[in-house]
Amino acid sequence: MRALRSTRLTMPAVLADGRGLSGGMLRQLFIGQCLVLALHLAWMPAWLVGLALLVAGYRLVQLRRGLPRAGILLRLAAVGSLVLALWLQFGTLGSMDGLVGLLLGVYLLKLLETHDRRDARVVVVIGLVATTVAFLHDQGIPMAAGALLAVAWLLQSLVWLSGATGLRQAWRETAWLLALSAPLMVVLFVTFPRLGPLWSMPQMDRASTGLTDQISPGDIAQLSRSDARAFRASFEGRDPAPGERYWRVYTLSHFDGIRWSRATPEQLAATLDRPVDAFVREAVRSPWQSPEGAGFSAELLLEPDNRPWRPSLGTPLSSEELQRYLADGTLEGLTPLSSRSLMRLSSSGSPPTNSPPAGERWYRLLPEDANPRTRALAERLWRESGSDPDAYLEAMMARFGEAPYRYTLSPPRLVGEHRVDDFLFDSQAGYCTHYASAAAVMARMAGIPARVVAGFLGGERNPDGHFTVRDYDGHAWVEVWRNGAWQRLDPTAVIAPERVEQGTQAVDDGAEAFLADARFSPLRMREVDWANRLRQEWERLEYRWQRGVIGYQRESRRSLMAQLVSWWREAWARLDALLPGRGSLSTALSLVTTLVVAAGLALLAHRGWRHRRRQGDERWLVGHLQGWLARHGLAAHPGESPASHLRRVAPQAGPAGRALEECARDLERLAYAPLEEAERHQRRRRLSNRVAEVCRRLGRPRR
């Protein structure tokens, strides 16, 4: 049994003729395909697994039963079926998903026509390209670890194809190649400027924030069912208190009686007959706000989103990159986010203070004859408050805090024509959008300009200090125009203060809806101390990976280089202070550096000259080769000529046997044949290459 196991470990990957592939090598290639395919399965169709098994099964039957190779008709039919299946799956082959699927399908089908080492190397190269393409989907830690495993396996396949004689040697050479490339990879990562992606893999089926640019009562309540991450934020300076974590995403100013929607700058410009730049500007700093009002500086790690929204804590003031600043306090990027992105942003933490370019009348508009019972209530409260807008708003907010109004994660559905009436007088139970919509409508009925703001409230603070904001933190509140500035009104803070202080998970009414769409979310075990700590540690590690590795950009590189230069200068100054005399350390180090460089160049020149001289001496080459064979247990017999020695041990040298026979022929020609100088030089060069090939295939001798 031990002998059989040893035979399996040392079985060559290619057949004795050096052209055809063995079943072991095909199995090696198939495992590599499985590892590469696993990186894409979360985004690619699952039937690609069936395709891989079908191709591998066909090759297995072909080898065992000696069937003929796959003909041109079978291969064309396979490619045609692949293209048709991808077209039916994605509707087009021009999308990035379709192109990646085509690459993976061709990679799997290539095994049908893989019969020699050249074809096998092509399969491995396609696998390396497909592994790189996987980072278009995701760049997290699991993807990086899986890609490293796939690359290691593919490199091991190349080592087998180069003539490895055993499993231990193959993995040793693979580890050596990876170890040699690691320092170069680190140096290039730290010093080489990061280029923008030539293409990207946007996830257009769902925006990561979960918010839309129009809402009706109950829409944001659906977000409480999801634990999808919207963004993460870390602050420079003090962290905002729970009551200050109002992340605005966009402003809704148009109400049609059922839902609130956003009026874009282009729509406002066309409706009010004003230039577009009266409502939006592209700049690094907001033209609508004073930069002196900055209250918070944060670094945001944004999730992919097919819309250009950028969250801000209160009113956005400035960013390091060009952004679109809207007059209503909305911040937009120039393009949607196709992957996780870092953004540094300064914000005020409070509502905007600039006057609305659309005019106050725009924020008083309401449908005629809509919600008559709410209008009667507003008129009564206005009379009771003595026509004082501030007193009216206080009375309105106080009414929301009275029974039987309640805050629930499972609000009843409203389907009537007058939905604000139905909520205030019939159901009297709702989520933040119910109360925000009713408050904005009642404010407008009293002639007070008002609008609804949609965004997020709160966020989970992780042990390392950064905040994670998720879908279930979605929130809506109201802004009213009073005394020359916008003021925030949040009815949720009146009826459910625990929602503001502790988050959505603190709401008891309708708690069964919380994370209902995320049944296997680790957040469900947040009450278990060890499980919650483990989840937070993983999120902390993943956050640092995204910021330090994926988010390593030009500014980070400059900061690191500046820090390294600063450390070097400090160390230099300390060493210089230890030596007497001004500049003595510089003189000494310069002299030592000059001597070391000169000695190094002389050594390199000597070694190059000696190597070149030895490569032109066939006696030294053969002596070196015979010594290498002796260390492998293939020494020459007493009185045996070098050529006879090489021919005798060739059958015992495995994949190196062919090169040994060619060495013997070249040696005899150089020793006995009358050759021209040009042909003799060519023979010596060929002999040198064959000696190097033998040494490479045999590997280093065991001690």
Catalytically active residues are 432, 475, 490
| Closest-CA residue to 440 (of 405, 368, 491, 402) | 491
E strands present in 327-370: 331-332, 341-347
- The secondary structure of residue 20, as a DSSP letter, is B
Distance CA 479, CA 485 (A): 10
Q: What angle do CA 587, 591, 596 make, to 5 degrees?
A: 150
Coil/strand/helix, residue 57 = helix
Whole-angstrom Cα Rg for the chain? 36
| DSSP of 495-557 | H-HHHHHH-GGG--TTGGGTTTT-TT-GGGGTTSHHHHHHHHHHHHHHHHHIIIIIT--HHHH
Report the 10 Å Cβ neighbour count for 441.
Answer: 26
Residue 448 and residue 236 in contact, taking contact as beta carbons nearer than 8 Å: no
- Measured CA to CA in angstroms, residue 420 lies from 130, 374, 415 at distances of 54, 7, 11
Q: Are strands 450-457 and 474-482 parallel, antiparallel or unpaired?
A: antiparallel
Residue 300 and residue 547 in contact, taking contact as beta carbons nearer than 8 Å: no
Coil/strand/helix, residue 399 = helix
Tally of residues, the chain: 703
Amino acid at 378: A
| DSSP of 143-183 | HHHHHHHHHHHHHHHHHHHTT--SHHHHHHHHHHHHHHHHH
Torsion angle of C-alpha atoms 136, 140, 145, 147, degrees rounded to 10: 0
Helices 618-631 and 642-649 meet at what angle, rounded to 10? Answer: 40
621 Cβ contact list (under 8 Å, min separation 6): 614, 615, 684, 687, 688, 691
Tokens at 584, concatenated: 């003595």
Coil/strand/helix, residue 297 = strand
Q: How far is CA 701 from the centre of its chain?
A: 43
Q: Where are the alpha helices (DSSP H) in 579-617?
A: 584-615
Residue 641 belongs to what H/E stretch? none
Coil/strand/helix, residue 251 = strand
Q: What angle do CA 265, 266, 271 make, to 5 degrees?
A: 100
List beta partners, residue 481.
486
Q: Are strands 429-430 and 316-326 parallel, antiparallel or unpaired?
A: unpaired
Distance CA 57, CA 399 (A): 72
Measured over all CA atoms, what is the biggest interatomic distance in the chain, rounded to whole angstroms? Answer: 124
Distance CA 354, CA 101 (A): 50
Q: Is 8 exposed, middle or buried (0-12, 13-18, 19+ CB in 10 A)?
A: exposed
Q: Where are the alpha helices (DSSP H) in 357-506?
A: 372-384, 389-400, 419-422, 432-445, 491-495, 497-502
| Closest-CA residue to 323 (of 279, 278, 284) | 284
